[in-house]
Structure 1
Amino acid sequence: MNKLMTTIAAAASITAGSLSAKANAGEVLDRVLAAQTLTVAVGTDWGALSHLNDKHELEGDDVDVAKGIADFLGVKIKFVTPGWDIIEAGQWQGRWDMAMGQMTPTTERAKKFDFPAMYFYDAEVAVVHKDSKATKPSDLDGKTIGVRSGTLGEMYANHQLSPDWIGAKPIQYQFTPGQVKTYPSANSLTLDDLRLGDGVRLDGVVSEGTTAAEAIKAGYPLRVLGEPLFYAPGAVTIERGDQEFNDKIAAAVKKMRDDGTLAKLSVKWFGGDFSVDK
């Protein structure tokens, strides 16, 4: 009797698994089309990527690119702002369908995410206060360096970065910090501490080049130290498992690239075309 029940249970399990796999095919795309809404995770303090304007409305390059994808799908768009650490952790459980933020498509991240399309290519740079005596990255050896949690800059500063994305070039560590000080995901916090003065809280920061340029343009007394440390791509991000949804997003971004929309948006928000690899 126990053997018979075991056999029946096993068969039921196989059948249920097959039905579940079938039900999950295109699940996210089906949800988006049924709700006629694409829910997108962005940031409120990511500078020109996405931020709240004076009217407390979200705007930025990420916002405009996401709107273009929603238009391509023929649906409305809804933005949520969970924070980078929550986005990057995965296990979204349907709270949003897609994330922006120029996530770099590393092999480790590909274990939990799919990256339908790369839409931005940025440099990672070393930033110092304008009064710093440093003239080259190696002058930051032994210094206190600020980084944002969960970023390539954090991995670089800790000498833990494996450049394993498409088109990646070898990484050369140009300095070895004495201390790496990690900050929450908000773009401005590291640069806010650095602007207080050379060595007051930080001696330098590893940051995206566009973020540093935006801060300097806004009057922060900072400067970029030498040439970029490395370049990396930023991708639209979804959770693994819905190839149909993946393909639709890829087609949407390709259309925006082919008709020049990505380049125009990049110039609008960053002052230059960062939609192509350097």
Structure 2
Amino acid sequence: MKDLMLTGAAALLAAAVTLTSSPAAFAGETLDRVMSTKTLTLSSDPEYPPQSFLNDRNEMDGFDVGVAREIAKRMGAELKIVTPAWEIITAGNWGGRWDISVGSMTPTTARAKVLDFPAVYYYTPAAFAVHKDSAATSAADLNGKKIGVCGGCTYEAYLNKNLVIDAEGTPEFTYDVTAGEIRTYETDVNVLDDLRLGDGARLDGLLSARPTIDEAIKNGYPVKVIGEPAFYEPLAVAVDKGDPEFSAKVAEIVNGMHEDGTLRALSIKWYGTDLTSAD
């Protein structure tokens, strides 16, 4: 696929054409790039079903990918997907390597220092799970145990008891589990893979998004959900700081998808229920 970043004389020529042929050039660098190249580059995870994953046709698919494709469509752009590590995405300072993250990211205070969150697009419960052979029946049964989470995720922050979610409409939560050991992994799937090896083999339990756990169970993983949700996450589209025009455009599109039912339809398609409201 063609490189999105124009260089040298080509960049100068493109800028000159934009300024002379368009009566209203876009002020924001990211928005300008997306609208001029007609390409929106998404950072995504190929191993995070049902949010984002490689399907049987070796194509990226899932709820998050569907949302991103619709955002690109409403911008009049094609969607390009890259797959950097989660920690790199949440660190900000993307440098134009990608334009947007539709990756079920919680807009925490720490992340807001390096990223902007134009719009919340759905909410999801965070749940504890154990191997199906475990005697655990409640979250309290995991006190003092080895619990796996994805590194840099809100689930790790929850277990460290320093999770801050200050997005509007976030339900209150309490810290009900004190892990004996917190083991971090690159993705939630890696956590599930270790838990499936047996009760206590490598992990005693995990904390992840309930839809992710449900998808694993549907695919034959020998795990089960225990207790009530630990907390509910508002999940937002994220963009790099420094382009308020791009943020405003994304917010406008996502709000429109809420209003016309597009997000609800995508949620029902992938989760079997409407997760686009905290009600």
Query: Could you state the TM-score of these two structures normalised by the residue count of structure 2?
Result: 0.88
Q: Indicate the residue corresponding to 1:19 in structure 2.
A: none
Match of 1:132 among 111, 134, 140: 134
Q: Indicate the residue corresponding to 2:270 in structure 1.
A: 269
Unaligned runs of 5+ in 1: 1-22
Q: Indicate the residue corresponding to 1:204 in structure 2.
A: 205
Q: Is the 8 A contact 1:115 1:236 kept in 2?
A: yes
1:255 shift after superposition: 1.6
1:160 shift after superposition: 1.8
Q: Is the 8 A contact 2:109 2:164 kept in 1?
A: no
Unaligned runs of 5+ in 2: 1-24
Q: Indicate the residue corresponding to 1:225 in structure 2.
A: 226
Q: Which aligned pairs between 1:187-198 and structure 2 lie closer than 5 A?
A: 187-198=188-199
Q: Indicate the residue corresponding to 1:83 in structure 2.
A: 85
1:170 shift after superposition: 3.3
Q: Is the 8 A contact 1:142 1:179 kept in 2?
A: yes
Deviations 1:205-251 (A, max 9, x none): 01111111111111211111111011011111101121111111111
Tell me the amino acid that sits aligned with residue 221 of structure 2.
Y
How far apart, CA to CA, are the structure 2 residues paired with 1:25 and 1:106? 28
Please identify the structure whose Cα radius of gyration is greater.
Answer: 1
Q: Is the 8 A contact 1:114 1:246 kept in 2?
A: yes
CA RMSD of aligned residues (A): 1.5
Q: Is the 8 A contact 2:123 2:278 kept in 1?
A: yes
How far apart, CA to CA, are the structure 2 residues paired with 1:51 and 1:149? 19
Deviations 1:88-132 (A, max 9, x none): 111110011111111111121111111111112011111011111
Match of 1:42 among 29, 35, 44: 44
Q: Is the 8 A contact 1:47 1:187 kept in 2?
A: no
Q: Is the 8 A contact 1:118 1:234 kept in 2?
A: yes
How far apart, CA to CA, are the structure 2 residues paired with 1:165 and 1:256? 19
**Paired residue secondary structure (2:137):** coil
Tell me the amino acid that sits aligned with residue 254 of structure 1.
N
Aligned: 1:165 with 2:162: no
Deviations 1:150-188 (A, max 9, x none): 11111111222123232233331111111111111x221
**Paired residue secondary structure (1:100):** strand
Tell me the amino acid that sits aligned with residue 127 of structure 2.
V
Tell me the amino acid that sits aligned with residue 250 of structure 1.
A
Q: Is the 8 A contact 1:25 1:241 kept in 2?
A: no
Match of 1:180 among 179, 182, 203: 182
Q: Indicate the residue corresponding to 1:98 in structure 2.
A: 100
**Paired residue secondary structure (2:266):** helix
**Paired residue secondary structure (2:227):** coil
Count how many residue pairs are aligned between Structure 1 and Structure 2. 255
Deviations 1:35-54 (A, max 9, x none): 11111111111111111112
1:260 shift after superposition: 0.9
Q: Indicate the residue corresponding to 2:125 in structure 1.
A: 123
Q: Indicate the residue corresponding to 2:114 in structure 1.
A: 112
How far apart, CA to CA, are the structure 1 residues paired with 2:170 and 2:133? 34
Aligned: 1:65 with 2:64: no
Query: Could you state the TM-score of these two structures normalised by the residue count of structure 1?
Result: 0.88
Tell me the amino acid that sits aligned with residue 51 of structure 2.
L
Q: Is the 8 A contact 1:163 1:169 kept in 2?
A: no
**Paired residue secondary structure (1:55):** coil
Off by >6 Å, runs of 4+ in structure 1: none
